[in-house]
Amino acid sequence: MNFESEYLSINLESDFILLTWKRSPKEEELKFGLEKGLQIVSENKIKKWLANTKLIGEIPPLQNDWINFDWFPRCLIHIEKMAVIIPSSALALMSVNQIMRRVGKLENKYFDSVEKAKLWL
């Protein structure tokens, strides 16, 4: 199962899911995209997540809170390993860092390319 829109593509690979943000999403787009990814992970029993956040832009504090306190606890039920492609924007990188610092038990690592991230996963 894959998903494609003007702001996000989600591809189910052999043993991981790849979310590629094409631009900075609006609040409802961010939530929809993360929920859609979680649905695909759950339905297909996927344990690895590759987040290409290169073009995501800054994530506002309220969305950070939703990701950390609502979405991530549900994500951790399924995901054991997450690779993150470093955002181009310094502000976006700060947002992603704030989220990933609070993750806890999830094995995660940052990469500068999708190819390197796939090898690690």
Cα separation, 106 vs 77, whole angstroms: 10
Residue 53: what pLDDT?
A: 94
Residue 45: what pLDDT?
A: 97
**Residue at 94: amino acid letter:** M
Query: Could you tell me the pTM of the whole model?
Result: 0.90
Residue 113: what pLDDT?
A: 96
| Domain 3-120 CATH superfamily | STAS domain (3.30.750.24)
SS3 content of the chain, % helix, strand, coil (to 5): 45, 20, 35
pLDDT in tens, the chain (121 residues): 799 999 999 999 999 999 999 999 999 999 999 999 999 999 999 999 999 999 998 888 889 899 999 999 999 999 999 999 988 777 777 777 777 777 777 899 999 999 999 999 9
Residue 59: what pLDDT?
A: 86
